[in-house]
Chains A and B, each alone.
Chain A
């Protein structure tokens, strides 16, 4: 230990080292090894989603009627389900749904939430009050139940799932941006931008936005994890996405009945894939919060 310390003193007393990507990566991995693991997992799943067509040994929705509910074998690594479909191929294909729902849903939440937070925080007054009360009102409903009920009520389609998740998640971003804007609103640089005669939209989007958005951005990975989880839950209940779509939640639904009869592979593998992706996103998000919160970092 003493050696590294003395070594470090030498480094810091010599000229400031230039930015090196390698050192930055090592540094991040040191500050948050869990984040590095999370990024790896997410990237692996992203790879799976992009190249699913090349990775799947079978068609995920073609049924082999002679091979129903077969246990894992060399031919079917994760076995076959009640329709005789290859679980391994379906699990790989499911990654497409994970990303395909989470990414647009989070983007939508940002596109709605960030401007709302900007305007509410900057304008304040009645508009702000009403919006915050509305968000408070939404908060007393458990998010999963609200999502379920709204999707069920507005019509069950994949697009609807994305829209509902994005809408329900937007208050998270609105709140974060709003509190940042409130803190920045009367700061010197905003005042001087106002004095220089900048129009409001310019102050909002050119001056405030870049400074207010960091905290919200740190949340994106965690929110994506939430979106993946909730969308799978909807599919598990048969709301929004229906079997035999190769979506993980829908596959767990299909496998549920076989859990009590011993064909565990049908529900087990999609569940593990779902956990891994959500876990990876959560690890990633937790690390992001570490990096953007200097207090959490200083404790290292």
Chain B
């Protein structure tokens, strides 16, 4: 049994506009993936592809008008979608911990950071406050915050972005989680700090035996830090598999275009760049959502493609899976 099994997860934004018409944005369409304990899974895709929304759907953090309309999420054998809110709440920050994008504005501005660490530990693990305090100092040490005893008295606004992100990671570690979800954890940080934070998180997953989901739009981060990759487009995972395998033999035209557009020397498969706007989730084209932008598109693409296995754990959702010419198609 995998630590996390997501099956056909569908999340829609359902609202009514000013003309009294119901409008539905199909933000997640049949998202399925698995994550084994101790592994790192990287989600990549452009803005609005549904990476963060997948994480929020898993944790039950959706806010109206978003809601889950189908599928299942099994974490450690428990169905998170069916789970009552209080139980799910007890799981969050405990077994599933999150690290978010803007650490400085996410921390409670009116509570010293040491007290925030104690608070999350008290909320889930409980026990004597002195024990929580001790653990807080240990975790601050573990995430490389110098002089923890002193720093625990700092206010969030006194921290640099990198330091605040370390505090968030320490918060995540407080209750010994099985899964760490890092949603664009380094987007707002300096490049040098980015690498430090990612190295730190990678090291901590090994040290504490956590699984981790990294959400990013930076393919380089996924290539460097994760074991598995899931490429998202228009609310669908279009290709997934072991990182090495996918980078060696990218199958889906969208994956190829992503790899082709990274400046680094990562491209192995190559492929034409795909231009164009992300599709309108309120009005997705029938069939493959990529077909209006894809250079390979043919008539058959107007019908929905199915998920095909093309290697060990390597899946792609394309009518031409395994059949496209290597090294790119018509330019």
Q: Residues of A at under 8 Å CB distance from B?
A: 4-5, 7-9, 11-12, 17, 19-20, 23-24, 26-28, 30-31, 291, 297-300
Known contacts A5-B14, A298-B15, A298-B65; A24/B20 CB under 8 A: yes
B18 touches A28 (CB 8 A): yes
* Known A8-B14, A298-B65: A27·B20 in contact at CB below 8 Å: yes
Indicate if the CB atoms of A7 and B22 lie closer than 8 Å.
Answer: yes
Please, which residues of chain A bring their CB within 8 A of the CB of B20?
A: 23-24, 26-27, 30
Which of chain B's residues have a CB closer than 8 A to the CB of A5?
14, 22
- What are the interface flags for B53-97 relative to A under an 8 Å C-beta threshold, 1 for contact and 0 otherwise? 000000000001100000000000000000000000000000000
> Which residue of B15, B21, B282, B283 is within 8 Å of A23 (Cβ)?
B21
Closest chain B residue, CB of each to CB of A22: B20
With the chains together, A31 CA to B20 CA distance in Å? 9
Please indicate the chain B residues that have their CB under 8 angstroms from the CB of A7 in the complex: 22
Asked whether B15 lies within 8 Å of A27 as measured between CB atoms, the reply is: no
Q: Identify which of residues 161-177 in chain B touch chain A, using a CB-to-CB cut-off of 8 Å.
A: none
Known: A8-B14, A8-B22, A19-B19. 6 other contacts (CB 8 A): A4-B22, A5-B14, A8-B16, A9-B24, A23-B21, A298-B65
What are 15 A-B pairs with beta-carbon distances under 8 A? Answer: A5-B22, A8-B14, A9-B22, A12-B22, A12-B24, A17-B21, A19-B19, A23-B21, A24-B18, A26-B20, A27-B18, A27-B21, A31-B18, A291-B18, A300-B15
Q: Using an 8 Å CB-CB cutoff, how does the interface string of B27-69 with A read, 1 for contact, 0 for none?
A: 0000000000000000000000000000000000000110000
B65's nearest neighbour on chain A, judged by CB, is: A298
- B-side interface residues toward A, CB under 8 Å? 14-24, 64-65, 282-283
- Chain B nearest Cβ from A31, distance in angstroms: 6
How far does the alpha carbon of A291 sit from the alpha carbon of B21 in the complex, in Å? 16
A23-B24 in contact (CB<8A): no
> A49 CB to closest chain B CB, in angstroms?
30
Partner of A11 from the list B18, B22, B65, B283 (CB cut-off 8 Å) is B22
Contacts of A297 in B (CB 8 A): 18
Residues of A within 8 A of B65 (CB): 298
Structural contact, B17 and A27, CB atoms closer than 8 A:
yes
Q: Which residues of A contact B22 (CB under 8 A)?
A: 4-5, 7-9, 11-12
Q: Is the CB of A12 within 8 A of B15?
A: no
CA distance A27 to B19 in the complex (A): 5
Q: How long is the Cα–Cα vector from A28 to B22 in the complex, in angstroms?
A: 13
**Beta-carbon nearest neighbor of A26 in chain B:** B20
B15–A30 touching, CB < 8 Å: no
**Min distance, Cβ A109 to any Cβ of chain B, angstroms:** 28
Residue of A nearest to B18 (CB): A27
A299 proximity list for chain B (CB < 8 A): 64
Shortest CB-to-CB span from B80 to chain A, Å, is 22
Q: How far is the CB of A251 from chain B (nearest CB, A)?
A: 40
Given the complex, which residues of B lie within 8 Å of A12, measured CB to CB? 21-24, 282-283
How close is B69's CB to chain A, nearest CB, in angstroms? 8
Q: Which residues of A contact B19 (CB under 8 A)?
A: 17, 19-20, 23-24, 27
Residues of chain B with a CB closer than 8 A to A24's CB: 18-20
Smallest CB-CB separation from B284: which chain A residue?
A13
Which chain A residue lies CB-closest to B17?
Answer: A27
Q: In whole angstroms, what is the CA distance A17 to B23 when docked?
A: 12
| A257 smallest CB distance to B (angstroms) | 50
Asked if B24 and A27 make an inter-chain contact with CB atoms under 8 angstroms apart, the answer reads no
Residue of A at shortest CB range from B26?
A9
With both chains docked as a complex, state the minimum distance between the C-beta of A35 and any C-beta of chain B, in angstroms.
12
Q: What are the residues of chain B within 8 A of A17 when measuring CB–CB?
A: 19, 21
Q: Roughly how many angstroms separate A23 CA and B23 CA in the complex, as a whole number?
A: 14
* A50 and B22 alpha carbons, distance in the complex (Å): 39
Give Cα distance in the complex from A24 to B18, angstroms. Answer: 6
A26 — which chain B residues lie within 8 A by C-beta?
20
Report the minimal beta-carbon distance from A116 to chain B, rounded to whole angstroms: 32
Between A12, A17, A19, A300, the greatest number of chain B beta carbons within 10 A of the residue's beta carbon is seen for: A12
| Cα-based distance from A12 to B22 in the complex (angstroms) | 7
| A288, chain B: closest CB distance, angstroms | 13
User: Shortest beta-carbon distance, A7 to chain B, in Å?
Assistant: 7
Most buried by A among B17, B22, B23: B22
**7 nearest interchain CB pairs?**
A8-B22, A27-B20, A26-B20, A23-B19, A27-B18, A23-B20, A27-B19
Give the Cβ gap from B62 to chain A, nearest Cβ, in Å.
Answer: 14
The answer for the CA separation of A17 and B22 in the assembled complex, in Å, is: 11
Q: What distance in Å separates the Cβ of A184 from its nearest Cβ neighbour in chain B?
A: 24
Report Cα–Cα, A9/B24, bound state, in Å. Answer: 6
Contacts of A20 in B (CB 8 A): 19
Would you give the shortest CB distance from A133 to chain B, in whole angstroms?
30
- In the complex, chain A residues whose CB is within 8 Å of the CB of B23: 8, 12
Min CB gap A2→B, angstroms = 10
Q: How far is the CA of A297 from the CA of B64 in the complex (A)?
A: 12
Residue of B nearest to A19 (CB): B19
A149 vs B21: C-alpha distance when bound (angstroms) = 51
Minimum Cβ distance to chain B for residue A218 (Å) = 14
**With the chains together, A176 CA to B18 CA distance in Å?**
25
**Which of B18, B24, B283 is the one whose CB lies under 8 Å from A8?**
B24
In the assembled complex, the CB of A22 is this many whole angstroms from the nearest CB of chain B, namely 9
Closest-CB distance, B45 to chain A (whole angstroms)? 24
Give the Cβ gap from A80 to chain B, nearest Cβ, in Å: 48
B15 / chain A contacts, CB cutoff of 8 Å: 298, 300
Distance A293 CA – B65 CA, assembled complex (angstroms): 17
Give CA–CA (A299, B15) in the complex, Å.
10
